[in-house]
Structure 1
Amino acid sequence: KMHGQGKLTQTDGGYFVGEFREGKRFNGTSTFTHKDGSSKSTVWADGVQTGAVICSQTYSSGATYQGALLNNKKHGFGTLTFPAGHAYTGMFQNNMRRGAGTLRHKDGSVYEGEWVTDQEHGQGKLTRPNGTIQEGEFRKGKFVSGAGVFVYANGSTYEGSVLEGKHHGQGKITNSDGYTWEGEFVQGELRTGHGTRYFPPSKTYQTGQWLNGQLHGPGKIFRKVR
């Protein structure tokens, strides 16, 4: 009888590698490779199949998956690569991305953080090739609250706090022409509280209390001198 470490090759192309006891598979993995090249490995422990499966398979959509299966569904740690070129590595639950994971897009963008029901949801960080960084709370695939650096198509940048997807709290916005405003933002572009605005052509600063983007109350205007 087979006993001890060994490899059993089956007529269907499958094989078992591991420990045998009294002629039976005891501890190890059973691997079967399908005609399409996909494979599944079942884990054995103390003579019983545990239900944990490690697989490598290609779907009809062209996506490929390498990782754990449970009841023939993606469950546990794995990597899912899509035909478009982006890939997710992390935790799956009941065939969906759930838990900690990293999504790398073809354009170089990277999201690292929490997932719920196949969407970025919870604490995470998104980094884009243009320099945009969003770090904080994501909700149903969208960044809603936290802090970061945002680079916009018109060349302007914003660095600071965000609440519910809008500039809110301390931050700094710089336009492509060099104009800057630094201070407190409320609900997007409305600038309220203490802040400073800089005009590059005249090298002039305006500092003081602001309300809805305008100087309001005590303030100072001065020019930068080299």
Structure 2
Amino acid sequence: MKEFKLPSIKWHDLTSHFTRPKLEILSLIIILICALSVFTGRIASKQAMTFNNGALQYNGYVVANKMNGQGKLTFDNGDIYEGQFTNGIFHGQGTYTSASGWVYTGQFKNGYADGKGKLTTEGQATYEGTFKQGIYQYEN
């Protein structure tokens, strides 16, 4: 059996190619690459996305593969939400229009009508005021 010998590499041979200015430039490049990789994942881009085999269609801003910012979500039953999203859920100002005819316009929090808003039912009854987790808060 033949014996293989690896060439001997001395530390001095390796370090003689790297001068201090070259190492500083290399370090700066590595830092810039790391910084860019962190920030590019957080840049909002406008996209059209489809979920659940076409049951949901989204057109709007996306950050880190989640609906973030202004957008429009259309459900396969005809319901439409148009407004602000945070991490993929309704959050901020928006309008939810159901296929059956009722419309809510106002504030959303964690996916629910929450805050000041206006609900108009199919029969055109209007409830305007404060909502908490999707429930109208009657004022006494």
Provide TM-score, normalisation by structure 1. Answer: 0.42
1:60 Cα deviation from its structure 2 partner:
1.5
Match of 1:65 in 2: 58
CA distance in 2: counterparts of 1:77 and 1:131, whole angstroms: 27
Residue 112 of structure 1 pairs with residue 105 of structure 2: yes
Verify the 8 A CA contact 2:44 2:68 in the aligned structure 1.
Answer: no
Number of aligned residues: 100
> For each residue in 1:73-118, what CA deviation from the matched residue of structure 2 results, as whole angstroms up to 9, or x when unmatched?
1000000011111000000011111000000000111100000000
Match of 1:123 in 2: 116
1:52 Cα deviation from its structure 2 partner:
1.5
> For each residue in 1:168-191, what CA deviation from the matched residue of structure 2 results, as whole angstroms up to 9, or x when unmatched?
4xxxxxxxxxxxxxxxxxxxxxxx
CA distance in 2: counterparts of 1:121 and 1:51, whole angstroms: 28
Residue identity matched to 1:58: T
Q: Which has the higher contact order (CA 8 A, sep 6+)?
A: 2
CA-atom RMSD in angstroms: 1.6
> For each residue in 1:171-219, what CA deviation from the matched residue of structure 2 results, as whole angstroms up to 9, or x when unmatched?
xxxxxxxxxxxxxxxxxxxxxxxxxxxxxxxxxxxxxxxxxxxxxxxxx
> For each residue in 1:49-85, what CA deviation from the matched residue of structure 2 results, as whole angstroms up to 9, or x when unmatched?
5722111011125100000001111000000011111
Residue identity matched to 2:82: T
The correspondence of residues 1-226 of structure 1 with structure 2, limited to 5 A, is 51-60=43-52, 62-145=55-138, 163=139, 168=140
CA distance in 2: counterparts of 1:127 and 1:86, whole angstroms: 15
Provide TM-score, normalisation by structure 2. Answer: 0.67
CA distance in 2: counterparts of 1:107 and 1:141, whole angstroms: 17
> Higher strand share goes to which structure?
1
1:131 Cα deviation from its structure 2 partner:
2.2
Verify the 8 A CA contact 2:60 2:70 in the aligned structure 1.
Answer: yes
What stretches of structure 2 of length at least 5 have no aligned partner?
1-38
Residue identity matched to 2:117: G
Task: Name the % identity.
Answer: 32
CA distance in 1: counterparts of 2:104 and 2:85, whole angstroms: 16
Could you list the runs of 4 or more consecutive aligned residues of structure 1 that deviate by over 3 angstroms after TM superposition?
none
State the SS of the aligned residue for 1:51: coil
State the SS of the aligned residue for 1:88: strand
What stretches of structure 1 of length at least 5 have no aligned partner?
1-47, 146-162, 169-226
